[in-house]
Amino acid sequence: MLKVTKLTKSYGAVQVIHGIDFTVPEGECYALLGPSGCGKTTTLRCVAGLETASSGRIEISGQVVSDSERGIFVPVHERPIGMVFQSYAIWPHLNVFENVAYPLRVQRPRVAKSEIRERVNSVLNTVGMLKMADRSATQLSGGQQQRVALARALVREPKLLLLDEPLSNLDAQLRITMRNELADMIQRVGVTALFVTHDQAEAFVLADRMAVMNGGFIAQEGSPREIYRIPKDPFIAEFLGSANILRGRVGELAPGGRVALHIHGGPDLTLAYETPVSAGSEVDLVLRPERLLLSAEKPEIDTNVFEGRIRKLSFQGNVTECEIDIEGGLTLRAVSALDDDLVEGMPVWVRAPHATVIPAKQ
């Protein structure tokens, strides 16, 4: 449905997109996730036709809409897209119905009045706003404005829905509710979507697949689960959530996909690994705090075990975060939902049933 090939974009002498490639199959929701300034919005605006790419090609639904070498540039209003932005740009002087009807009213050739009524009502129904069709836009809550913006983006039945940080104007609680609702609505409509966010939780909930962007490049692409579980480098690991990152050296490769690992400033471990590593090389070990198991007794399984002492506990309601000093000067962070037996200063065993070993960047 969307194919972006070798896309670059420069503003003057400054290149901000460095030749990125990605494809979004029909019906999928794809997220561009990355820190502020990494080029997400610029990419989205190139797809929309609000910016002209410096080079590369963009195809939407089989049609080349941008190809700088062949001099092709289809303007924004001729692309089969709908857009939702961070600021919803709901018109205050129009009611809900008219806000959503607007794209159809300006469409040429003209859309019949009866068809406009039918299509607007149908899409308002989809987003749960049909009962508020006559409500003035100034009387809407943030969540309702968000739905109206979505309805307006969908009313022309676009082949591709583009969303740029659509939830970032909402307060924290509503954001969580709305991200689930948005995921439901996108799925119900079945529209192909390209979604931009700096919030990893949003990408996890909404995306079938995603690209983590950094400095105008795609750093890693995959399903949210894949990338969270096997990040390609420490930047990605930490951007996607809390992570303990330990540097170590690979000893020998043991049979069964296991590796002997000497952690600098820590113990020797035997670990299962999922990314190819070679004997003698430096690696980064990624341990997710929520994956670490704590016990007062020495675990029966003695691989991937660290011996330490709880330095600090911070109670966070649903979980307690523990900082654990490991022999040799390492500190590990763990989170535990079952903190009843934990006290600061107590000796503790930490087991890591899952660890990701990735080749270290020198």
Q: Which of 6, 26, 37, 309 binds ligand ADP (CB under 6 A)?
A: 37
The half-sphere exposure of 173 on its side-chain side, counting CA atoms within 13 A, is 0
Q: Among 275, 269, 219, which residue's Cα sits nearest to residue 249? A: 269
Toward ligand ADP, which CB reaches closer, 40 or 232?
40
Distance of closest approach, residue 85 Cβ to Mg ion, in angstroms: 10
- The listed partner (ligand ADP, Mg ion, none) that binds 37, CB under 5 to 8 Å by sort, is ligand ADP
The edge-to-edge listing of strands for the beta sheet with 258-263 is: 268-272, 258-263, 244-254, 282-287, 356-359
Residues 6+ apart with CB under 8 A from 252: 259, 260, 279
Q: Is 315 in the site for ligand ADP (CB under 6 A)?
A: no
Applying CB under 5 A, which part among 36-44, 76-84, 310-318, 327-335 lies near Mg ion? 36-44
Distance of closest approach, residue 12 Cβ to ligand ADP, in angstroms: 7
3-class SS string, 228-259: HHCCCCHHHHHHCCCCEEEEEEEEEEECCCEE
Distance of closest approach, residue 40 Cβ to Mg ion, in angstroms: 5
Of the chain, the end-to-end C-alpha distance in Å amounts to: 39
- Phi, psi at residue 303, to the nearest 5°? -95, 155
Distance of closest approach, residue 57 Cβ to ligand ADP, in angstroms: 19
- The listed partner (Mg ion, ligand ADP, none) that binds 50, CB under 5 to 8 Å by sort, is none
Q: Which of 13, 36, 256, 297 binds ligand ADP (CB under 6 A)?
A: 36
Residues 6+ apart with CB under 8 A from 80: 60, 61, 63, 158, 159, 160
Q: Which of 9, 30, 31, 41 binds Mg ion (CB under 5 A)?
A: 41
Toward Mg ion, which CB reaches closer, 41 or 214?
41
- The listed partner (Mg ion, ligand ADP, none) that binds 16, CB under 5 to 8 Å by sort, is ligand ADP
Bridge partners (DSSP) of residue 17 are 9
Q: Which of 4, 20, 31, 38 binds ligand ADP (CB under 6 A)?
A: 38
The binding site for Mg ion (CB under 5 A) comprises: 41
